[in-house]
Structure 1
Amino acid sequence: MHTTDVPEFPMARTSGCPFDPPPAARAKQREGPLVRVRLWDGSTPWLVTRYAEQRALLADPRVSADVSRPGYPSPAPTTGEGSKISFILMDDPEHARLRRMVTAPFAVRRVRAMRPAVQKIVDDLIDELLAGPKPVDLVEAFALPVPSLVICELLGVPYSDHDFFQDNSKIMIRRDAEPEERTAALGKLAAYLDELMGAKLAKPRDDLLSGLAGRVEAGELTRSEAAQMGVLLLIAGHETTANMIALGTLALLEHPDQLARLRDADDPRLVESAVEELLRYLNITHNGRRRVATEDIEIAGRTIKAGEGIILANDIANRDPDVFPDPDRLDLGRDARKHVAFGFGVHQCLGQSLARLELEIVYGTLYRRIPTLRLASDLARIPFKHDGSVYGVYELPVTW
């Protein structure tokens, strides 16, 4: 097959269906579990379209997350400098060594203990919404501050610096950013976290960055490694959850029967179920997880050869009809816990327990306290983030 016959990836969503995966990707899913796609650089990695094959490959030690390996399907041009954001783009054993250093604060029991503090953040922001002018941009006034305040508290980052780290994070995840822009943004964030690390080394506190500073002093980490880990946790800790809050709210407003079901429910289990279903249905990480084969892999009647790129498109895996009946229907009562929104295997999302907690509190509080919440704009005028590695909306005008 000529590369001109291979469809380009990522594929475009349909403007009238902003919550659904690209129709072309769904068509490829019907063709088979593995198909070729063409990237910006002309390379033709494998697109894995179905749930079973994605889980199998994400758990396969012959599949590498190392961005520096030849054949890795990079989502955009890079300068080659600082392309690894800490352990997320590394393989074991180095990945496991670094990840273990920050798992404890994200353990389920530790996260559950944060519930009162997160609930207060949510309630205080809703108080400000209710007392302020309307209409209001829910992204700026609520969806972005909630996870930013939470991750700042956890890490020990001053929230007063939120404009700085949010602006640079946006550049990092924008697909059309120039390589030099992305490198510069990463450099600014790394320098900022390095300065914070210096402060924690001089005067440690009860926060995650101080814990990393202790490991630097013990010789387990370099100061640069600790700063890079801080960058990863700061970006990942607010960007994805902020977009889930805003996009989830928009999806519920566009499905008033499901919103009423959630708002009127007394059962916390329905709130938990709603979180899982919205994670399945929306897929904030919408450009696929990128990997490269280190050995030949036989799967689904195909051979992925060593050095070939692999893209695991979680948005269509979470709409696989063999796993989720009637997958395009938003059903908050569905058992969607087996979705792959957080990935699978050794690289699955470290902060998933914290994200779930934040979303449970937001989805269980916002619509009860503002029961008449509604869009202050037409859906067609909402600016969606088609140009980034994280999907969502740039703004969400609401009133009540």
Structure 2
Amino acid sequence: MQLDTGHLDTAPLDGGSPQYPMPKATGCPFDPPPELKTLQATEPLSKVTLWDGSTSWLVTHFAHQRTLLADDRVSADRTKDGFPILQPNTPRTGSPVGFISMDDPEHSRLRRMVTAPFMIKRVRAMEPGVQQIVDNLIDHLLAGPQPADLVEEFALPVPSLVICQLLGVPYADHDFFQVNSKALIRIETPLEERMAARERLTSYLDDLVGRKLTEPGDDVLTELAARVTTGELTREEAAGIGVLLLVAGHETTANMIALGTLVLLEHPYQFAVLRDSDDPAVVNSAVEELLRYLNITHRGLTRVALADIEVGGRTIKAGDGLIFPNDIANRDPEVFDNPDVLDVRRDAKRHVGFGFGVHQCLGQPLARMELRVVYSTLYRRIPTLRAAVPLDQVDFKHDAIVYGVHKLPVTW
């Protein structure tokens, strides 16, 4: 399959460091770019050149990534000099959404405002409701025509319904926030359009927070509105957090549902292990292995060093950019035996699919629970599920910062 790699050309611009990001190999949609694997084996801390001619450190070893991501001398603040911007249509000033581009103490102050809804105990209490959502959508899928688009009919509605209920966002507005979310995460979205999409989402969440001030409910936006009332948050901060949770809460999990299903269908034995097991431990290990093997944030995490840091025999200077492609870290043979093999019985829970350190994904307990419910239900209820098109006809999201498939025609 010829992959759409757009303008990406990894040949060195000046005979020196290779360009980043790097394209996947033809016919290998589930694997990291081969050049990343080569660098991991030969030069795990190396310089790469970005679109604007600047250079940053590319960190490909699992251990180096965890060390640096946990170091408070490494900053997520994109406004700092040297912070790597991976594409020309991305603003350097201000956080894209919420607190993800802030450092402590401001990052911790805002993050703890929404920690409680994602605590494991509270997420467990949500599981029966998520099970009902999944069952209802499968009922609808089975009653409809074949082939069906698993993305549109199942993978996207599951996390969208869940995050809407959790936040207190009307699901009737899902077309609006899904369209604007896609504009935010599509690589080639022009800067003006990206900023306009962010502004539309921010305005929408600001209106909802304002409504919760007078019409409270049992949801996260009501909790944020209460903090606005007490002066702990501004309306702008509450809306920004709402945008972050809404976008991240459905885009990432939706892509994992569809992409995970596709890779299982391409590995029939692994599909059968999951389909035929009623052991929660098998389901749990499958979720972690799929997160490790696929890892949908393929462009990696970006940071900048605030001080000189010694790691792996190299000196990272203050002001040096850092890029952490966690897809290749999750294929590190020093951590995972036969890392390019999908094994749903593997103990893969150490993966860095959710990042590491203080900025690791806030919503990971919710994502794990949703994936457990989906992977333990969909294949059991539709045991003959299969792709309706060959792999080389599946449209992969090489045009988005969250990797997945645009559509997945299935039948049974």
Q: 1:56 is matched with which residue: 52, 61, 67?
A: 67
Shift in alpha-carbon separation, 1:4–1:189, aligned structure 2, 3 A: farther
- Matched AA of 1:316: I
**Counterpart residue number, 1:363:** 375
Runs of 4+ in structure 1 off by over 6 angstroms are none
**2:259 aligned residue (228, 237, 247):** 247
Q: Is the 8 A contact 2:56 2:84 kept in 1?
A: yes
Among 1, 14, 18, the residue aligned to 1:7: 18
How far off is 1:223 after superposition? 0.3
Using structure 1 for the length normalisation, give the TM-score.
0.98
Residue in structure 2 matched with residue 141 of structure 1 by the alignment: 153
Calculate percent identity across the aligned residue pairs.
Answer: 67
Alignment correspondent of 1:185? 197
| Secondary structure at the counterpart of residue 46 of structure 1 | strand
Partner secondary structure for residue 19 of structure 2: coil
Asked whether 1:342 is paired with 2:373, we answer no
SS in structure 2 at match of 1:151: helix
Aligned length, in residue pairs: 400
Q: What are the superposed Cα offsets for residues 140-198 of structure 1, whole Å, 9 maximum, x if unpaired? A: 00000000000000000000000100010011011111111110110000010011111
Q: Could you tell me whether the CA contact under 8 Å between 1:75 and 1:175 is conserved in 2?
A: no
**Does 1:39 find its partner at 2:39?**
no
Letter in 1 for 2:143: A
Q: Is the 8 A contact 1:79 1:180 kept in 2?
A: no
Q: Point out where structure 2 has 5 or more consecutive residues left out of the alignment.
A: 1-11
Q: Would the aligned equivalents of 2:78 and 2:94 in 1 still touch at CA under 8 Å?
A: no
CA contact (8 A) 1:81 1:183 kept: no
Other-structure match for 2:318: 306
Quick check: 1:25 aligned with 2:73? no
* Post-superposition offset of 1:33: 2.0
Letter in 1 for 2:30: F
Question: Structure 1: how far apart are the matches of 2:319 and 2:102?
Answer: 16
Post-superposition offset of 1:138: 0.3
CA–CA separation in structure 2 for the residues paired with 1:296 and 1:218:
41
Out of 320, 331, 337, the position equivalent to 1:325 is 337
The residue matched to 1:134 in structure 2 has which SS?
Answer: coil
Query: Hey, what does 1:91 align to over in structure 2?
Result: 103
Q: Letter of the 1:21 partner, please give it.
A: P
In structure 2, C-alpha distance between the alignment counterparts of 1:76 and 1:168, rounded to whole Å: 19
CA distances 1:254-291 after superposition (whole Å, capped 9, x unpaired): 00000001101121100000000000000101101000
Aligned residues: CA RMSD: 1.1
Q: TM-score, normalised by structure 2?
A: 0.96
Report the secondary structure of 2:58's partner residue.
strand
**1:393 equivalent in structure 2:** 405
**For residues 79 and 353 of structure 1, what CA distance do their matches in structure 2 show?**
30
Whole-angstrom CA distance in 2 between matches of 1:193 and 1:229: 9
Instruction: For 2:92 and 2:314, locate their aligned partners in 1 and report how far apart those are by CA, in whole Å.
Output: 32
Give the letter for the 2:49 counterpart: R
**SS of equivalent to 2:310:** strand
Moved more, 165-174 or 68-77: 68-77
Alignment match, 2:246: 234
Asked if 1:291 corresponds to 2:299, the answer is no
For residues 81-125 of structure 1, give each alpha carbon's deviation from its aligned partner in whole angstroms, at most 9, with x where no partner exists.
654311111000000000000000000000000010000000000
What letter corresponds to residue 176 of structure 1 in structure 2? E
Q: Which runs of 5+ in 1 are unaligned?
A: none
Question: Offset of 1:40 from its aligned partner?
Answer: 1.3
Query: 2:156 matched to 1:120?
Result: no
Show the counterpart of 1:153: 165
Residue of structure 2 in register with 1:176 after alignment: 188
Find the aligned partners of 2:373 and 2:96 in 1 and give their Cα distance.
33
Distance 2:15 2:187 in 1: 22
Q: Which moved more, 1:7-16 or 1:107-116?
A: 7-16
Work out the CA distance in 1 between the residues paired with 2:213 and 2:340: 50
